[in-house]
Amino acid sequence: MALIELNGIKKVYRHGDIETEILKGIDLKIERGEFIAIVGPSGSGKSTLLYILGLLDRPSSGSYLLEGKEVLKLSDDELSRLRADYIGFVFQAFYLIPYLTVLDNVLLPLQYLPRESRKKKFSNIQPEKFAEEILNRLGLSDRKNFKPEQLSGGQKQRTAIARALMNKPELILADEPTGQLDSASGKAVMEILKELHREGKTIIVVTHDKEVASYAQRIVEIKDGRIVRCSSSSKN
Amino acid sequence: MFFFLKELISSLLHNKVRTFFAILGILFGVVSLILIVAAIEGSNLQANRVIKKLGPDSVLIVSGAIGKGPKGRLRNLSLKDVREISKLEGIFALTYGIVKPTTVSSLSSSKFSAVFGVGENWLSSWNYKIEQGRGFTLKDFRDLKKVAVIGHDVSDFFWPGENPIGKVILIGKTPFRVIGVYKKKGKTPNGHNLDNRVFIPYRVYDKTVEKTYDKVSIIRFRVLDTSNYSTIVEEVRAILLKNHSPNDFTLITPVVVKKFLSMLSATFALFLGIASTTALIVGGFVLSAIFYVNVYTRQWEIGLRKALGATRKKVVIRILSESLVVAVSSAITGSILGILLIPSILESLNVPVVYPAKAFIIAAIFSVAVCLFAAYFPAKRASEFNPVESLRRKIQ
Ligand SMILES: Nc1ncnc2c1ncn2[C@@H]1O[C@H](COP(=O)(O)OP(=O)(O)O)[C@@H](O)[C@H]1O
Ligand SMILES: [Mg+2]
């Protein structure tokens, strides 16, 4: 069974009488452990699709099966709980909370993880210990007590990735994760995602950068709200 | 839990100006509430003290109108009033007295004391307990015995560490034999010393200290059945009005004491009540506005928390917790300010200084209630933010 199955996803924005269809019927199957890049020109609806995939936004119509279960009929709060459990977000603008240290930013999602999942996921490791391990792995252990403003762009994005990993999600969604980084730190970030993929995480990256897309196994190209091409990457 | 608190405090410390003004807004209400409750408690305490001294079943008639200077000097009442009152049914322990500050001396020294010429029952009616010797007997009154019952301050002054019973003191120029010393009574709520007093029979006072012309300063009696209280008081008032003009006397009953004392606090309570309610409501609005502005300026943060899996409830709880910290901080700061301000404010109102726990508890409860109520609406609004739109609001 596919991890995610989208069928006929449409997204319409209404401004008064004017309706704009941003997504015009997306069908997409994502298997567990895939590394997918969603590419396309700016304004083509990539972020919109990613937010729908991340259960952060609801499509205007269509169906969304997560592990075979229709999730669009769930309430907002049920979707929130699924997000805490299944999905880790990485954004272009990092969204680190300025008054929290790196470590506390990483620990932030823990309080939203439903109790049962928390018990299951942290049965053999303390969450604080786990957070330190991730930071260690991402080369941030000497920065854990820093505030975000004291970090470089690459360090900020690595902190955001650490935060996305905190709740041990199935799926990592990254929206232009290298958009605000120089090419060296951008590469480093992509290497991390690639490594996470190798460990079995399902990863979806939105980008308009060919270089970034080449890290993925599969490239989904959208244009004007439709998937125009779906191809395997040459690199992998 | 620990992380939640730590994160909460960091966020409030991060935005010090907001937190400061939110606390300030609530603080005024808290302080004035503490003061008002303390003042009411203080004046109740005073009323109860006075009533206890007076005796809850007793009626006191003093010369002159209430609140018009020292009443001890006035002698508008007379033995005629006493005789007529004594004929009423349902009263007991009727007594009367006249007083003059007089020099009292022994062979070697002298002091100023309040010398009272008193009627029978005086000691028992006013609850003077004999500690040494004895009180007056009917024989003392009938035979015009020159005997005195004295307070501790008097006996300690003339015969420190000695037994004063049987000793002789001069009141003015007349020698009196000390027959009793009453137990220490301390001070009146107004600060009069109750232990620097000398009591002698009324008729003897008339012959020795000064001519009384049958005048008295104070009449006092008690009521057998307090359910008849108001009837008896009206009968007494009728007698007095027959003999005097209304301004010549004041009937002091526990009801009057309560009314008089609570009249003061009622005006004050009303003033502070309005002030503190207004302050709290304004504080609530200020808090609400501050929190509204705040949830919009950090809308992206709320969007992020939702992206990380925060449910509506978690968002509401989070923001209410922030306001709860504001409430508790205001309550603590307000309590400290209240403790500092209570002495001067209550003293200026002539109310005994008290620090009633009730005042602090009420203020804390109100502070929490107002804060939670005021923050609820912005919190609700924040919980309904669309996460995607909120994330797009990030000000870079
Ligand atoms: N809330 C909204 N209301 C109206 N139009 C929107 C809204 N959000 C996004 N859009 C529009 O949807 C289109 C696709 O946006 P987006 O998914 O962010 O594109 P991409 O990420 O591919 O650049 C854009 O034209 C954008 O202006
Ligand atoms: Mg985008």
pLDDT in tens, B35-72: 888 888 888 888 787 777 777 788 888 887 765 444 45
Question: Residue A15: is it exposed, middle or buried by C-beta count within 10 angstroms (0-12/13-18/19+)?
Answer: exposed
Residue B206 and residue B239 in one domain: yes
Identify the CA nearest to A161 among candidates A152, A150, A172, A148. A172
Q: Do A77 and B313 touch (CB under 8 A)?
A: yes
Is B157 found in the same domain as B128?
yes
Give mean pLDDT, residues B27-40.
Answer: 87
> Best of B304, B308, B311, B314 to disrupt the A interface by mutation (most A CBs within 10 Å)?
B308
* C-alpha–C-alpha distance, residues B213 and B22, integer Å: 70
Asked if the structure places residue B64 within a domain, the reply is: no
Q: Please check whether residue B185 lies inside any domain of the structure.
A: yes
Least reliable range by pLDDT among A2-6, A78-82, B20-24, B176-180: B20-24
* B263 and B349 belong to one structural domain: yes
Same domain assignment for residues B113 and B191: yes
| Calpha distance B162→B132 (Å, rounded) | 11
- Cα end-to-end distance, chain B, whole Å: 31
Q: For A31-76, how does the pLDDT look when each residue is reduced to its tens digit (9 = 90+)?
A: 999 999 999 999 999 999 999 999 999 999 999 999 999 999 999 9
Partner residue facing B310 (CB), from A54, A57, A80: A80
- Quick check: is B71 in a domain? no
Print burial letters for B326-342: b (CB count within 10 Å at least 16), e (below 16).
Answer: bbebbbebbbebbeeeb
Output the pTM of the full model.
0.76
* Cβ distance of B309 and A56 shorter than 8 Å: no
| Rounded average pLDDT over B345-362 | 87
Instruction: Give the type of residue at A152.
Output: S
B72 within some domain: no
Q: Is the pLDDT of residue A182 over 80?
A: yes
Query: How many domains does chain B fold into?
Result: 2
Minimum-distance ligand 1 atom for the alpha carbon of A40: 22
Structure tokens at A45: 């609806």
Residue nearest to ligand 1 atom 24, measured at CA: A43
Cα separation, B268 vs B44, whole angstroms:
13
Mean pLDDT over each residue of chain A, to the nearest integer: 93
Mean pLDDT of A129-158: 95
Test site for ligand 1: of A10, A13, A46, A226, most ligand atoms within 8 A of the Cβ:
A13
**Taking CB atoms and an 8 Å cutoff, what residues of chain B touch A81?**
309, 311
Phi-psi region of B121 (alpha: psi -120 to 50; beta: other; left: phi over 0): left
Taking 80 as the threshold, does the pLDDT of residue A177 lie above it?
yes
The string of pLDDT tens digits covering residues B381-396 is: 999 999 999 998 875 5
Q: Which pairs from B136-141 meet CB under 8 Å and 24+ separation?
A: B136/B179, B136/B199, B136/B201, B140/B179, B140/B201, B141/B201, B141/B202, B141/B203
- For residue A105, give the chain B residue with the closest CA: B7
Q: What is the pLDDT of residue B190?
A: 66
Task: Note whether B126 and B221 are same-domain residues.
Answer: yes
Centre a 10 Å sphere on the Cβ of residue A214 and count the other Cβ atoms it contains: 15
Alpha helices (H) in B55-186, listed in sequence order: 79-86, 122-125, 138-142, 152-158
Residue B262: the pLDDT is 66
Q: A83, B308: Cβ pair inside 8 Å?
A: yes
* A99: closest CA of chain B, how far (Å): 6
A41 CB within 6 A, ligand 1: no
In a domain? residue B252: no
pLDDT digits (tens, 9 = 90+) for B274-324: 887 788 888 899 999 999 999 998 999 999 999 999 999 999 999 999 999
Chain B residue with CA closest to A169: the answer is B308
Find the domain containing B278 and state its range.
2-49+259-395
Q: Are B237 and B276 part of one and the same domain?
A: no
With respect to residue B356, please indicate whether it lies within any of the assigned structural domains: yes
CA of A139 to the centre of ligand 1 (A): 35
Region B226-236: mean pLDDT is 86
Across residues B270-276, what is the average pLDDT?
78
Which member of B3, B6, B307 has the closest CB to residue A89? B307
Checking if the pLDDT of B100 tops 80, the result is yes
- Write down the pLDDT at residue B169: 93
pLDDT of residue B183: 93
* Residue B107 sits in the same domain as residue B239: yes
Q: What is the mean pLDDT of residues B230-253?
A: 88
Asked if B27 and B327 touch (Cβ cutoff 8 Å), the reply is no
Atom of ligand 1 minimally distant from the CA of A15: 4
Domain boundary among B200, B218, B243: B243
Token duo for residue A97 = 């909370």
- Chain A residues within 8 A of B315 when measuring between CB atoms: none
pLDDT of residue B47: 79
ipTM for the complex shown: 0.95
The answer to whether the CB of A13 is under 6 A from ligand 1 is yes
Q: Does A56 touch chain B (CB under 8 A)?
A: yes
In this prediction, residue B7 has a pLDDT band, given cuts at 50, 70 and 90, of: confident
Identify the burial level of B355 via C-beta atoms within 10 angstroms of its C-beta, where 0-12 means exposed, 13-18 middle and 19 or more buried. Answer: middle
Cα pseudo-dihedral B72, B78, B79, B81, rounded to 10: -110
Under an 8 A CB cutoff, do B13 and A99 touch? yes
pLDDT at position B8: 87
Domains in chain A (CATH in brackets) are 33-63+75-232 (3.40.50.300)
Q: Determine whether the interchain pair A56/B387 forms a contact, defined as Cβ–Cβ distance below 8 Å.
A: yes
The conformation of residue B187, written as its DSSP 8-state character, comes to B
* Cβ neighbours for B70, distance < 8 A, ≥ 6 positions apart: none
- What is the longest distance spanned by two Cα atoms in chain B? 105
Flag whether pLDDT at B331 surpasses 80. Answer: yes
Residue B250, domain member (yes or no) = no
Does residue B219 sit in the same domain as residue B142?
A: yes
What's residue B264's pLDDT?
A: 61
| DSSP assignment string, A6-61 | EEEEEEEEEETTEEEEEEEEEEEEE-TT-EEEEE--TTSSHHHHHHHHTTSS--SE
Residue B65 maps to a domain: no
Residue A108 contacts B, CB cutoff 8 Å = yes
- Please work out whether the CB of residue A48 comes within 6 Å of at least one atom of ligand 1: yes
What confidence score (pLDDT) does residue B93 get? 87
Q: How far is A83 from chain B (nearest CA, A)?
A: 5
Asked whether the predicted pLDDT for residue B240 surpasses 80, the reply is yes
